[in-house]
A and B are shown apart, each in its own frame.
Chain A
C-alpha cells in the first residue's frame, strides 16, 4: 500500500517553462489537495478536488491549473514557471469517512531559476 505518491521528487525549471506535477493515491479517497510550502513557512492550499470531476481554488491558485484525471490522480500544472513558484509541493488525500485525517505524499521540490 503506497499511500500518496508524488512525481517527480525534484525538478529544476527555467523561468517560462511549463511542467506538470503528478499525484496518485491508492486508498480510494474522494478528496485530493495540492499545497505549497516555502522555506521556513507553513502549508498554503493551492487547489483541491472534493470529489472526482470537481476542482476548487484554495488560498494561492494564481499561476497554477489542476486536473482531477480520475479518482486516483490529481495533477498540478505550471504553465509558465516563475521564480516565485520555487517551493516544495505536497499532495494530500482524504476520505469522506467520518473522522479521517489527511494523508500526505513526500513532496516535490521545485526550483525555478
Chain B
C-alpha cells in the first residue's frame, strides 16, 4: 500500500495560485493518484486524477514527475470557497479495488 504524506495545513490569499504536494515513495505500477476535496460536514468529492505527467481539468491541474514518487495539486486563483481539506489518495485503478487508505490531508485556508 502506498502511504501518502502531505503538509498538515497551508494558508493563502484570494487570487493566488496554491500548490499542494503529496509524497508517495512506494507507489506501485498500477496505482493512480487521485485528489479529493472535503468541506466541513460533507463527504470528500473528487477533484482530479492522474497517472503521470500533467492532467488539467476545469478546477485544477495535477503534476506528476517521471518517478511518480510525488504529485502536486495546483489550484489557480483560489477563492474563499476553496477553503477545505485536500486529500491525495494512491491506489489501484481498474481491476479489484482494494484497500484505499487516505492520508491525513492538507487543510487549506484562503483569506480575503
- A binding-site residues for B, Cβ under 8 Å: 4, 30-31, 33, 35, 41-45, 48, 50-51, 56, 58-59, 88, 90, 92, 94, 96-107
Q: How far is the CB of A28 from chain B (nearest CB, A)?
A: 14
Total interface residues on B, CB under 8 Å, equals: 26
Chain A residues, CB < 8 A from B100: 33, 45, 48, 94, 102
Central interface residue in A33, A51, A56, A100, by most chain B CB within 10 Å: A100
Give the secondary structure class of B's interface: loop
Central interface residue in A35, A97, A99, A101, by most chain B CB within 10 Å: A101
- B binding-site residues for A, Cβ under 8 Å: 32, 34, 36, 41-46, 49, 85, 87, 89, 93-105
Chain A residues, CB < 8 A from B36: 101-102
* A96-B46 contact in complex given A42-B87, A43-B102, A45-B101, C-beta closer than 8 Å: no
10 A–B contacts, CB within 8 A, in A order: A31-B97, A42-B102, A43-B44, A50-B98, A56-B99, A58-B99, A58-B101, A59-B101, A96-B96, A107-B43
Cα A104 to Cα B41 in complex, Å, equals 12
Q: How far is the CB of B67 from chain A (nearest CB, A)?
A: 21
